[in-house]
Chains A and B, each alone.
Chain A
Amino acid sequence: MGSRASTTVPEESHGALSIRNVSKIYDPEGLNVLAVDRCSFEIGAGEVCMVVGPSGCGKTTLLNAIAGFHSITSGEIRMDGKLLCGSEKPLAEQGADRVVVFQNGALFPWMTLADNVAYGPVVQGRLSKREARDKAEQMLAEAGLGDFTEKFPGEISSGMARRAEVVRAIINDPKILLLDEPYRGMDALTKSIMHETLLDIYDRTGVTIFFITHDLEEAVFLGDHVVVMATRPARVKRTVNVNIPRPRDFHVRTSETFRQLMAEIRGAVDEEARKAFEAGERELA
């Protein structure tokens, strides 16, 4: 798949991800639940890949495998050609080149926003505490959180917290940003503000994005392509390319292309959602 045509992307920024024939069986000795079944797709460096599919289909399993939280059973995942995990090494190492933004938010509640954002560079020993804090404050200000650097996560809205969490990820210059339904449960207006912030960060950094969502509009608005997953076991049902030029703003949402893409994806997803609902499956971790 083609890479993004943007001059702002730094040369050394990679993050091409290649998922080949990945399967995951939970509890191989017991119940043998096949969560992911021979899943393959490619994400080019600097692309935004949106993964949609019914609840509990195994999207998060895939994300966990990339992040190194869970092992895979077979297949392999490579980043920039380098093996992350495969049959000899089922569990990928965790590292700051692949930072996750979690479903329920995982800013440390005991640190202020500035300390949260500065945490990565400090703990990796890349920056001194002072430098990291300065950079954190600057990056928070760029994300419109300049007045909240000394606030604790418990004192701010979930939208702001999620925005700060993206900043906490981006400060590490990750190759790929892994987002697991980060805007779930937010109202439509907050969501669209969140999208603008994310796109703004994306336009500045050109980081590769792996984004799991249920929200089809979100998927089309943000993505370079949308991967529709079949219900459990997760397989790639189809991939839809989103040929809407960037930078995108809210006008895009009302365009004809947008509507056609939505209809196309909805058709694919609905069928799977129905199957998943009828199967009544419980979500896997």
Chain B
Amino acid sequence: MSDAATAMNSPPKGASLIRYRAKRMLRGTPLYLGVAGIAVWLITYWLFDEVWELPRFEKIPGPVTVFSELISRDPFQGVSFFTLELYRDIYLSCRRILFAFLIATGVGVPLGLLMGWSTRFRHYTFPILETLRPIPIMAWIPLAILMFKGFETPVIFLATLASLFVTTLNTLLGVDSIDQSYFRAARCLGAKPRDIFLHVVVPGALPFIFTGLQISVGVAWFSLVAAEMVSGDGGLGYLIVDSYMNNVTVPMVIGMLTLGFVGWITSALVRMLGNRLMQWRVRGLAMQGR
């Protein structure tokens, strides 16, 4: 092994690692493109709404109005960075999402793995899954209210439901996607069915599972909002609908933007966790320059 190759094989450490990462972030992920994209959107919104005052926008608060309300210590319409209410709504929604996501993952991943692993089990469960899956969340709302007490449980139930289907189906596809030769290789090397499940099925399905989880957390957000709109007490979905009902449009827009932002953070967290668990994939893709 030559010196150059050895140097390449030893990863950077300490300060040089931080420098390397910072450089990569600036160069690799084009952050400025994202910023520019948001700026273009904000400016368009501002021009349409507050400068040209186009007819369709007359009842909609513009970005300047929303922003000045957001940073006001004493907001005119009741919600800003300085009011506890906003944080309470974020907290309530995040807590519901956390429960829903954990339940959906805890049930959906094992269910999908089993369905992929055992043809018999798949034949038992697949028809039920496929029958329940197309029913929209809105249609489940009355049932959820009848089945569960209080405000929290029906909302969590509704948010769980949609994510559960996504997670299960993606996990199942993940197992299906595993190349047959890995199963054969494992058996050749003396693996028992249990070993194959743990060492081939689970890690082999992981890329699909995490793709599924990223979608599932997003789906949890939209079903949560639908649920909060109807039966909720607090939460960002509730904030949006409640503001609309009370004819205060600024908190409505604040609610929407906050929800979008928090939702984005949650999917980013899921993606980060996935990359941590799948170093083999991250490093393999990096070799292909991705």
B is bound to A: yes
> Which B residues are CB-close (under 8 A) to A102?
181, 184-185
Identify A152's interface contact among B6, B9, B200, B280, CB under 8 A: B280
Interface size class of A (residues with CB under 8 A): 20 to 34
A94 pairs with B187, CB closer than 8 A: yes
Give the docked Cα–Cα distance between A153 and B181 (Å): 15
| Stretch of A108-116, A192-200, A243-251 lying at the B interface | A108-116
Identify B182's interface contact among A99, A106, A120, CB under 8 A: A106
Give the docked Cα–Cα distance between A111 and B185 (Å): 13
Give the docked Cα–Cα distance between A154 and B282 (Å): 9
Give the docked Cα–Cα distance between A103 and B280 (Å): 22
Q: How many residues of B contact A (CB 8 A)?
A: 30
- Chain B nearest CB: distance from A126 CB in Å? 8
> Which B residues are CB-close (under 8 A) to A106?
179, 181-182, 184-185
Interface string of B181-214 (1 = CB under 8 A from A): 1101111111110010001100110100000000
Give the docked Cα–Cα distance between A110 and B206 (Å): 10
B279 pairs with A120, CB closer than 8 A: no
- Chain A nearest CB: distance from B169 CB in Å? 22
> Which B residues are CB-close (under 8 A) to A154?
280-281, 283-285, 287
Q: Is the interface of A mostly helix, strand, loop or mixed?
A: loop
> Which A residues are CB-close (under 8 A) to B179?
104, 106
- Chain B nearest CB: distance from A28 CB in Å? 22
A152 pairs with B181, CB closer than 8 A: no
Chain B residue nearest to A157 in the complex (CB): B287
A120 pairs with B190, CB closer than 8 A: yes
A123 pairs with B195, CB closer than 8 A: yes
Most interface-central of B6, B9, B184 (chain A CB within 10 A): B184
A123 pairs with B199, CB closer than 8 A: yes
What residues make up the interface of B, taking CB atoms closer than 8 Å to A?
1, 5-6, 9, 179, 181-182, 184-192, 195, 199-200, 203-204, 206, 278-281, 283-285, 287
Pull 10 A–B residue pairs with CB atoms less than 8 Å apart, ordered by A.
A67-B184, A99-B189, A102-B184, A109-B281, A110-B280, A123-B199, A124-B190, A152-B280, A152-B284, A172-B189
Report, nearest first, the 4 A-B pairs whose CB atoms are least far apart.
A154-B284, A120-B189, A124-B190, A110-B203
